[in-house]
């Protein structure tokens, strides 16, 4: 399964447009894309943006520095410049990464973005979700009937607006 996951990842990267990832990364870093050279490290004079994207900026910079990554490698490590964490591997490896993040308190939940919309979600549901349920970090049933019930939120009282 690991080899199949890596094969799918490589196949998708071959189909992706690096220019798109470059523009996304440049947007996060708030620099002109022409300043970013694909096979070189990030420029050293980048400054933290005053508004917006500070978390993504810091994450990109930290990842690039820790890993000694070129711009091209950083774009790939950040899911095409989106800043999203990518997990590729066996169901056990994917579930294990999710468990680590969840149990450490780093996250309260996840948005799953499969590699391919038509076929990527089914393997996750069939192979990863059962492991997460087994480990006690993914529910098997819902307690209520509404999203409000699931979060344990009280129902607001509604009052008819006064007629003037």
Q: How far is CA 28 from the centre of its chain?
A: 15
Identify whether 98 is part of a domain.
Answer: yes
Q: Which of 53, 85, 117 is the last residue of a domain?
A: 85
Whole-angstrom CA distances from 72 to 9, 55, 78, 88, 142 are 16, 20, 10, 18, 43
Q: Which of 85, 110, 140 is the last residue of a domain?
A: 85
Identify whether 164 is part of a domain.
Answer: no
What is the domain extent for residue 50?
1-85
Same domain, 78 and 103: no
Same domain, 81 and 91: no
Confidence of residue 83 (pLDDT cuts 50, 70, 90): low
Confidence of residue 9 (pLDDT cuts 50, 70, 90): confident
Written as six digits, the tokens of 33 are 């894309």
- pLDDT of 143 > 90? The answer is no
Specify the pTM: 0.64
Same domain, 39 and 49: yes
Written as six digits, the tokens of 25 are 């990364």
């Amino acid at each position: 399964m690991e080899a199949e996951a890596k094969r799918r990842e490589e196949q998708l990267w071959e189909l992706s447009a690096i220019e798109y990832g470059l523009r996304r990364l440049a947007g996060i870093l708030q620099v002109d894309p022409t300043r970013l050279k694909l096979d070189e490290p990030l420029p050293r004079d980048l400054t933290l943006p005053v508004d917006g994207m500070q978390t993504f900026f810091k994450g990109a910079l930290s990842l690039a520095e820790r890993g000694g990554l070129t711009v091209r490698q950083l774009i790939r490590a950040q899911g095409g410049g989106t800043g999203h964490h990518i997990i590729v591997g066996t169901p056990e490896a994917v579930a294990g990464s999710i468990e680590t993040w969840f149990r450490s308190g780093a996250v309260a939940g996840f948005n799953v973005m499969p590699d391919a919309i038509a076929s990527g979600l089914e393997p996750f549901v069939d192979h990863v979700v059962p492991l997460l349920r087994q480990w006690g970090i993914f529910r098997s049933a819902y307690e209520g009937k509404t999203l409000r019930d699931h979060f344990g939120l009280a129902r607001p009282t509604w009052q008819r607006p006064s007629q003037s």
